[in-house]
Amino acid sequence: MRSIFTLATLMVATLLAGPSMAAPAPDDWKTVLSEARGQTVYWNAWGGDVRTNDYIDWVNRQVQAKYGVDVVHVKVDDTGVAVSRVLAEQTAGNRRDGSVDLIWLNGENFAAMREHDLLFGPFARHLPNFSLTYPEHNPEVVTDFTLPTDGYESPWGKAQITFYYDSARIASPPRSIEAILDWARHHPGRFTYPRIPDFTGSTFLKQALLSLTANPEPLYAPVEESDFESVTAPLWDYLEALHPHLWRDGRQFPANGPAMRRLMADGELDLAFTFNPSEPAAAVDDFELPPMTRSYVLDGGTLGNVHFVAIPANSPHKAGAMVVANFLLSPRAQAHKQDITVWGDRTVLDVTRLDDPARKAFAATSDNPALPPRGALQTTLPEPHPSWMTALQEEWRKRYIRE
């Protein structure tokens, strides 16, 4: 009883206190650097990929040597876990001493945290290396699913839907959304997409909708502003036609992108896709996918987005977190990350505008045949407004989950 009472008091106190800001001014970088020294930054990031984990470990060693900042990778299986954590702390009135200092996120999670004032900022524009992204030429580094980031998150990598297949089995894979339907008819049970509301699966819905709709414009504004039913009708028609030819007749779907990759490895599927263009090549290296695996992007481009790091409002190590975010934007860190033998995550820097020595670091290319062909990732379709994702997910669940 007593603890509940305490809790209630704290909740009330929380309401009255309002937001507190015990953070260094991001524009005074010298102070930020000196304050950061000796801090330990708890970085909550998806831990499902060994290569990503190794890269974060490398980052730790770099910033430790350079800035005296320790990075601890808190591995989560779902970014939602970290969001939950920040939320639980806020619920209990923990406004200064949170357990999350840096969080890897984008899209829906960012929108949600912003909406509930769970983030610190604006800080991104004050990071010295941020200018190397040349935001005035590359709006995607300051827009997250059409929402302006307002400096509440800092970009650090790029993802784009990439398809892959075993070229020992398939000679010519389908190169458009319409062609996939046709292909599935001839190869029943050999294609699927991750179960909604999985991120990659939801992106497939958006990709399909973008290709099928005559006018994509409404998708870049909140869903409330258009007639959801008529805009999305072509998508549902398409899925009605596609599902009977999918893996397990479209009655069951893999949980997520990695689960789909495992089905490829087991020979259950012939065609799959991922959000990380270098994932198939890495999986071949790890003996998971067949050696003849090849990757490509649909004609006319596929959806791509930038992923970011953000700092929770109650982080006690904001200076350290900013130093890490800034290091992640350095040409050295970005080039290392883009190296296929390291991770293969594409840079957010505007390489064409970098000075010569920096540009050279990115020049080293890989001839790994499982990577998408050079230039394939040039045409990136921007992400629709996040409200569409939620609406599509709801509708999909209504239609396909059995009662």
Kindly state whether residue 81 participates in binding other proteins, applying the rule CB under 8 A: yes
In terms of CB distance, is 18 or 375 closer to other proteins? 18
Largest separation between any pair of C-alpha atoms in the chain: 69
Tell me how far, at minimum, the Cβ of 90 lies from other proteins, in Å.
4
In SS3 terms, 288-353 reads as CCCCCEEEECCCCCEEEEEEEEECECCCCCHHHHHHHHHHHCCHHHHHHHHCCCCCCCECCCCHHH
Alpha carbon distance 319, 69 (integer Å): 10
CB-based burial, 239-264: b 16+ in 10 Å, e otherwise: beebbebbbeebeebbebbbebbbbb
Alpha carbon distance 290, 284 (integer Å): 6
Tell me how far, at minimum, the Cβ of 221 lies from other proteins, in Å.
19
Choosing from 28, 97, 182, 240, the residue that interacts with other proteins (CB under 8 A) is: 97
In terms of CB distance, is 135 or 194 closer to other proteins? 194
Site for other proteins in 10-49 (CB under 8 A): 10-11, 14-15, 42, 44, 46-49
Site for other proteins in 281-340 (CB under 8 A): 283, 286-291
Q: How many residues does the chain have?
A: 403
Alpha carbon distance 13, 92 (integer Å): 10
Kindly state whether residue 50 participates in binding other proteins, applying the rule CB under 8 A: yes
Name the segment binding other proteins (CB under 8 A); options: 67-75, 157-165, 236-244, 332-340: 67-75
Rounded to the nearest 5°, which phi and psi values hold at 122?
A: -75, 140
Q: What is the DSSP string of 206-251?
A: HHHHHHH-S--GGGGS-GGGS-HHHHHHHHHHHHHHHGGGSGGGGT
Q: Are 297 and 162 in contact (CB under 8 A)?
A: yes
In terms of CB distance, is 115 or 299 closer to other proteins? 115
Q: Are 308 and 153 in contact (CB under 8 A)?
A: yes
Tell me how far, at minimum, the Cβ of 341 lies from other proteins, in Å.
14
In terms of CB distance, is 261 or 307 closer to other proteins? 261
Token pair for residue 287?
């003996």
Site for other proteins in 198-257 (CB under 8 A): 247-249, 251-253, 255-257
Taking phi first (over 0 means left), then psi (-120 to 50 degrees means alpha), and beta for anything else, what does residue 273 get?
beta
Choosing from 17, 25, 72, 233, the residue that interacts with other proteins (CB under 8 A) is: 72
């398809």: which residue's tokens? 163
Kindly state whether residue 77 participates in binding other proteins, applying the rule CB under 8 A: yes
Kindly state whether residue 185 participates in binding other proteins, applying the rule CB under 8 A: no
In terms of CB distance, is 30 or 398 closer to other proteins? 398
Site for other proteins in 250-269 (CB under 8 A): 251-253, 255-259, 261-263, 265-268
The one-letter code for the residue type at 99 is: S
Alpha carbon distance 385, 355 (integer Å): 35
Name the segment binding other proteins (CB under 8 A); options: 95-103, 214-222, 299-307, 354-362: 95-103
Choosing from 79, 154, 207, 232, the residue that interacts with other proteins (CB under 8 A) is: 79
Kindly state whether residue 108 participates in binding other proteins, applying the rule CB under 8 A: yes
Interaction pattern, residues 109-148, with other proteins; x per rule: CB under 8 A: x-xxx-xx--------------------------------
Helix/strand/coil for 385: coil
Helix/strand/coil for 372: coil
In terms of CB distance, is 243 or 359 closer to other proteins? 243
Site for other proteins in 338-377 (CB under 8 A): none
Name the segment binding other proteins (CB under 8 A); options: 188-196, 221-229, 327-335, 365-373: 188-196
In terms of CB distance, is 251 or 360 closer to other proteins? 251
Choosing from 29, 74, 181, 391, the residue that interacts with other proteins (CB under 8 A) is: 74
